[in-house]
Amino acid sequence: MRLTPAVRTIYGLEIRSLLRDPRAIFASIILPIVLFPLLLLASKKMEKDLGDSAPTQGEPAQTKTYKYAITGTESEFVRQLVEGLPAPDAEGADTKPIDFKLVDVEDPVQAFNAGDLDFYVQGMTPDEWQAARAEKPTPVEEGAEKSETPVVRIHYRFDRPKSLKGSSTLRDKLHELRTSQRHAKLVAVGFPVDPSTVAASTTTNVASKREMSGSQLGRMLTMFVLILMVAGGSAIAPDTLAGEKERGTLTTLLTSAAARSEITYAKFLAIVTMGLVVTALQVFNLWLYLGMGLIDVPADYAASITPVTAIVLFVLYLPVAGLTSGVLLLTSAYAKTYKEAQLFLLPVILLLIVPTLAPLLPEISLSSAIVMVPIANISIAVRDVLVGQANGWLVGMAWLITGLAAVYATRCADRALNDENLVSGADTDRAELLGGPALFRKRVLRWFAVLWAVKVLIDFNVSFEDLRVTSLVNIGLVFVAAPLVMVWRFELKAKEAFALRMPKPIVWLAVLLGAPAGLIVSAMIFRLASYIVPIPTEMLEQLGQAFLPEDIPFWQLAVFFAVLPGIVEELTFRGALLQGLRTRYHPVMLCVIIGLIFGFFHFQIFRIPSTAVLGMVLTALTLMTGSIFPAMLWHALNNAMALYIGSAKVDLTANSWLAYAGATLALTLSLWVIWKNRTPYPGLRGSDRPSEADLAGVGETVSG
Amino acid sequence: MPDNDESPMKPHAVKTEGLTKVFYDDGRGKVVAVDRVDLSCSGGEIVGLLGANGAGKTTTLRMLSTILAPTGGQAWVMGHEVTENPQDVRSHMGFYSASTALYPKITARETLRFFAKVNRYPAARIEERVEYLIKRFGISDYADSRVEKLSSGMKQKVSIARTVAHDPPVLIFDEPTVALDVLNAIELRKIIAQLRDDGKAIIFSTHVMSEAEQLCNRIAIIHRGRILATDTLDGLRKKTGCHYLEEIFVHCTQETDTP
């Protein structure tokens, strides 16, 4: 793309308009410059409070006193033990002397809860210990499972920094004491040498300082940079296209001799400029604060960034800046008004941040399929560069792929300018006047965005002791109320909206076969995927265990987590959502989009892909049968079996390839039967009946 | 007015043949908004597109100005086809409608400079042109105020000046008076008539009968996407036997509405 006179003129207009808007300047440049260091300062402070017990240099040595009490049947034993602890050793002047102060209180538990004590120590007899463990299993160190001596238990609160620190110091001291006592005993029974020479075990960190700080910095850097770039870019992005649409200046501009590609290119450049300027300002700002000593950063951090590294980082981040700006521009192109563009910003920002977290995954490297994921690949490349272990070819490839994604996003924005519905978006809409189902089709995605936000709020802020209550609140508030309100508000016919029609009887049989087969096939896909993208084992374990509480009988689990969600979530997604979107997208796209939306309603990040695939299958099922009931049955069966597998601890990913082949065959057979007996969903895009090709495509997506 | 940098005037500055726009609407299904429209307009002529709301006026003009792509037929502006050569079409055309707004943060002078540049007016003559426009449209008093500070009457003048900033031979006015008060509307009509006298080819859409009667050399009556008649006012009178344009309009539309 060339810098034609039109591009330069429009670019100049964008920048000039922004510079003349004091409020935008304040919100996007001045405010962050003040807030950002404050945020860093606060996080540093918190880290210090919670952090390791090593005192920072320069602070005057002062005695830190931890108040505690002793309780339990073996309290006398504990008292002697603690009093017998070696006095704080004088290793160096910078070590803060530590003092434990025994406080005499009536009720240690109450005093502890009231905050008068930092922690309390309970002395238990071995029998009491065993009983307590049976009630609430706690991890213990090796050899302590069958203790024959009294057991010391320290009660502390993780959320009180002083409690945490004091208790852990005491625990370490007790460990030391025990080791030395054990040593003495061994010598007493005639053990010839110091036990540490027999079984010496130490841990040694082989990473260099640069590598350590590099990997620490590299994990977070891309996220920070991206947030800064988005902050800068979004100062101008909502106005570039959406704001112009709303004001009517876009029509003026579109009827000028500037080509549409020139318009998007100029606006893209303006967003990139703002993103880079704000990022640069913040980096400078940070450097200033560091120089003034307002923020202290370990010297290794600074050392890990040489001028050459800084240049490499800048070049690496260019395509990220491009992609971020392209996505912001695209968001602006799709929004009809300034407000709408701002509304879209938050989810878009979250979506952009997710890939920057890639370096946090253990064991992930650029030599896996992650190199194909824009932004994620750059953030790993940056980590590798900072650690000093970058592979030039792979880094180059990552750069290229993210760069191509940036070009693609800008192209999409370009195309959006040619989309008549989007260009003339600000005109009064017939549907808005008429209301009813036509309006529902326009508003359905907005409704689901709100629904998603409500679910996020509930899930993250309200927690119930009982999982059953959680399930009911979710189902009741989000999934029953929402579709009913939509039906009422837009005067939809329930039978149409929820596809309440009967499929052919044979479909039921096919579902009974297909649902279990589908579960096994998805396990297979997961396993195949794990060959391409290394999935950490903890993640696999979490996936298997799910959430099974052991105090709820299985039949209740089945009702609350299989049958009810099966019915209710289908009404929401394959009912209202599908009805609203049916004329907007091609049937194959419908499956993909509804599947993805369904996936994003399940927040645990590891569940999104699998639920999204399930959602696609269920959408295809509803499209083929024109009925919601087979999807309900499939969904309920799927959940019930997943529950059963979870509780019976069956590992599906360990199945033999023969079983996988069989399951794939069964799934294909099931879908083939459903396809042969299809009674298509009415009123899809294009024609009254979806064409053969459409649904054949759907079938492929499903079994693939 | 320094005009006519064009080669010898082509017979028609604007011409359409079978111009058609069909779109798909969620509520209504397939909608034929513009149905095989034939239009022409030459330099020094105002052609009025007269029709009720929703008749297809705006869609027709939006196709001419390349905002919308036609689904059938062809249209030329100064010999350039709208789908083949949209940029050349736009550089020879000024488009004004009630919804074409101005950028609020720049001054009137900057606005004119911006549109002259974007519309490829020769760079060396831009300042001269801007000065001329400021004088001609009487905006010297507020030429250096930001557009957001101007009154609606002032904005309207700046808007017209920006429409002709690059001295285009073709001007399209899409219901320009719809949001104006009486005085401003009269002022605008006066300016449009002057522009015609300068030799511009002007297409003008309206649903106000008196406006069409007063201003247009020829009138095209459009109804449900189709042109029912195109002629001078006298020609239309002869054809229909009615005197007032209102009667003519009702006569024509009733003919098509009753099968």
pLDDT at A622 over 50: yes
Residue ending a domain, among A164, A195, A226, is A195
Q: Considering CB atoms only, which of B23, B102, B119 is closest to A256?
A: B119
Residue A70 included in any domain? yes
Tell me what pLDDT residue A55 has.
42
Domain boundary among A195, A226, A242: A195
A449 belongs to a structural domain? yes
Among A236, A251, A255, A586, most B C-beta atoms within 10 A, so best to mutate, is A255
pLDDT band at A699 (very low <50, low <70, confident <90, very high): very low
pLDDT in tens, A548-568: 566 677 788 788 888 888 888
Query: Do A698 and A550 belong together in one domain?
Result: yes
Closest of A363, A296, A419 to residue A48, by C-alpha:
A296
Say if the Cβ atoms of B93 and A420 lie within 8 Å.
no
Task: Give the whole-angstrom CA distance, residue B82 versus residue B68.
Answer: 10
To the question of domain B17-92+169-259 being in CATH 3.40.309.10, the answer is no
Is the model's pLDDT at B77 over the cut of 70?
yes
Q: List CB contacts of A104: < 8 A, sequence separation 6 or more.
A: A69
User: Given the DSSP bridges, would you call strands B170-174 and B93-97 parallel, antiparallel or unpaired?
Assistant: parallel
Q: What is the domain partition of chain B in residue ranges?
A: 17-92+169-259, 100-168
Q: How many CA atoms lie within 13 A of A476 on its CB side?
A: 7
pLDDT digits (tens, 9 = 90+) for A454-496: 887 777 776 666 777 777 877 887 788 888 888 888 888 888 8
- The pLDDT of residue A74: 78
pTM for this entry = 0.62
**Residue A259 contacts B where some CB pair is shorter than 8 Å:** yes
A416 shares its domain with A477: no
Shared domain for A578 and A665, answered yes or no, is: yes
Q: How far is A319 from chain B (nearest CA, A)?
A: 29
Distance of alpha carbon B145 from alpha carbon B151, whole angstroms: 11
Q: Last residue of a domain, which of A390, A423, A456?
A: A423
User: Average pLDDT for residues A418-436, to the nearest whole number?
Assistant: 53
Interface of B with A (CB under 8 A): 23, 25-28, 62, 65-69, 87-88, 90-91, 93, 95, 97, 99-106, 110, 114-115, 117-120, 123, 146, 162, 166
Chain B residue numbers touching A6 (CB-CB < 8 A): 117-118, 120
- List own/partner pairs for A18-24 with CB under 8 A and 24 or more apart: A18/A235, A18/A236, A18/A239, A18/A270, A18/A274, A20/B105, A20/B106, A20/B146, A21/B105, A24/A235, A24/A236, A24/A239
Residue A53 maps to a domain = no
pLDDT for A7 equals: 93
**Strand intervals (E) in A89-145:** 98-102, 119-124
pLDDT at residue A655 in the model = 66
Among the ranges given (A171-180, A192-201, B8-17, B140-149), the one the predictor scored with the smallest mean pLDDT: A192-201
Candidates B80, B103, B115, B160: best to mutate against A (most CBs of A within 10 A) is: B103
A639-649: average pLDDT: 78
A25, A70: one domain: no
Q: Do A528 and A637 reside in the same domain of the chain?
A: yes
Identify the pLDDT of residue A58.
40
Output the DSSP codes for A474-502: IIIIIIIHHHHHHHHHTT--HHHHTT---
pLDDT at residue A221 tops 90: no
Residue A201's pLDDT band (cuts 50, 70, 90): very low
Same domain, A460 and A580: yes
Which of B65, B114, B146 minimises the CB distance to A255? B65
Instruction: Report CA A292 to chain centroid distance, whole Å.
Output: 36
Say if A203 falls within a structural domain.
no
pLDDT of residue A357: 85
At position A100, the amino acid (one-letter code) is F
Q: How open is the CA angle A591-A594-A596, to the nearest 5 degrees?
A: 100
How large is the average pLDDT for residues A216-242? 85
DSSP string, A371-403: GGSTTHHHHHHHHHHHHT---HHHHHHHHHHHH
Q: Per-residue pLDDT for A28 more than 80? A: no
A493 contact partners, CB below 8 Å, separation of at least 6: none
Residue A659 and residue A518 share a domain: yes
Helix pair A307-334, A209-233: axis angle to 10 deg: 30
Q: Would you call A661 helix, strand, or coil by DSSP?
A: helix
pLDDT band at A95 (very low <50, low <70, confident <90, very high): very low
CB pairs under 8 A between A and B: 93
Measured CA to CA, the distance from residue B191 to residue B204 in angstroms comes to 13
Is the minimum CB–CB distance between A428 and chain B shorter than 8 Å? no
**Distance between alpha carbon B19 and the CA centroid of its chain, in Å?**
17
| pLDDT confidence band for A139 (50 / 70 / 90) | low
Judge whether A4 is closer than 8 Å to chain B, CB to CB. Answer: no
Residue A48 lies in a domain: no
Nearest one of A57, A53, A52 to A93, comparing CA atoms = A57
pLDDT of residue A210: 58
A423 interface with B at CB cutoff 8 Å: yes
pLDDT of residue A57: 41
- Residues with Cβ within 8 Å of B210's Cβ and at least 6 positions away in sequence, in order, are B245
Residue A46 tokens read as 């918190």
| Closest-CA distance of chain A to residue B234, Å | 34
d(CA B259, CA B252): 13
Classify residue A614: in a domain, yes or no: yes
Quote the distance between the C-alpha of residue A421 and its chain's center: 34
pLDDT of residue B145: 94
**Is A9 touching B (CB cutoff 8 A)?**
yes
Nearest to A251 among B100, B103, B114 (CB): B100
Chain B residues with CB under 8 Å of A444 CB are none
Domain co-membership, A577 together with A464: yes
Which pLDDT tens digit goes with each residue over A532-552?
A: 666 555 555 554 444 556 667
Subunit contact B90:A17, Cβ cutoff 8 A: no
- What's the total number of domains in chain A? 3
Judge if A81 and A150 occupy the same domain. Answer: yes
A82 inside domain: yes
Has residue A693 got a pLDDT over 50? no
Instruction: Verify whether the Cβ–Cβ distance A257 to B90 is below 8 Å.
Output: yes
Is A378 in contact with A319 (CB distance < 8 Å)?
yes
C-alpha A266/C-alpha A9 separation (Å) is 8
Return the number of other C-beta atoms located less than 10 Å from residue A233's C-beta.
Answer: 32
Asked if the model's pLDDT at residue A11 lies above 90, the reply is yes
Flag whether residue A248 sits within 8 Å of chain B, measured between CB atoms.
Answer: yes
Mean pLDDT of A599-626: 82
**Chain-chain contact of B66 with A255 (C-beta, under 8 angstroms):** yes
Looking at residue A694, its pLDDT comes to 37
The residue that leads in pLDDT, A145 or A196, is A145
Strand B218-223 with B226-231, pairing:
antiparallel
Q: Is the pLDDT of residue A159 over 80?
A: no
The answer, for A438 touching chain B at a CB cutoff of 8 Å, is yes
| Cα dist from A332 to A241, A325, A427, B104, B224, whole Å | 5, 10, 17, 19, 34
Which residues are registered as beta bridge partners of B75? B16
Backbone dihedral region for residue B54 (phi beyond 0: left; psi -120 to 50: alpha; all else: beta): left
Same domain (yes/no): A534, A608: yes
Strands, E assignment, chain B: 14-25, 29-41, 45-50, 72-77, 80-81, 93-97, 170-174, 201-206, 218-223, 226-231
Q: What is the pLDDT of residues B1-26, one digit of tens each?
A: 444 444 444 468 999 999 998 876 65
Q: Is residue A260 part of a domain?
A: yes
Residues A176 and A222 in one domain: no
Answer for the pair B111, B158: CB distance below 8 angstroms, yes or no.
yes
Q: Which domain holds residue A221?
A: 5-41+208-423
CA A282/CA A290 separation, integer angstroms:
12
More confident residue, A315 or A601: A315
Whether the CB of A687 is below 8 Å from some CB of chain B: the reply is no
What pLDDT does residue A197 have? 45
Would the pLDDT of A428 be above 60? no
Q: Do B123 and A5 touch (CB under 8 A)?
A: yes
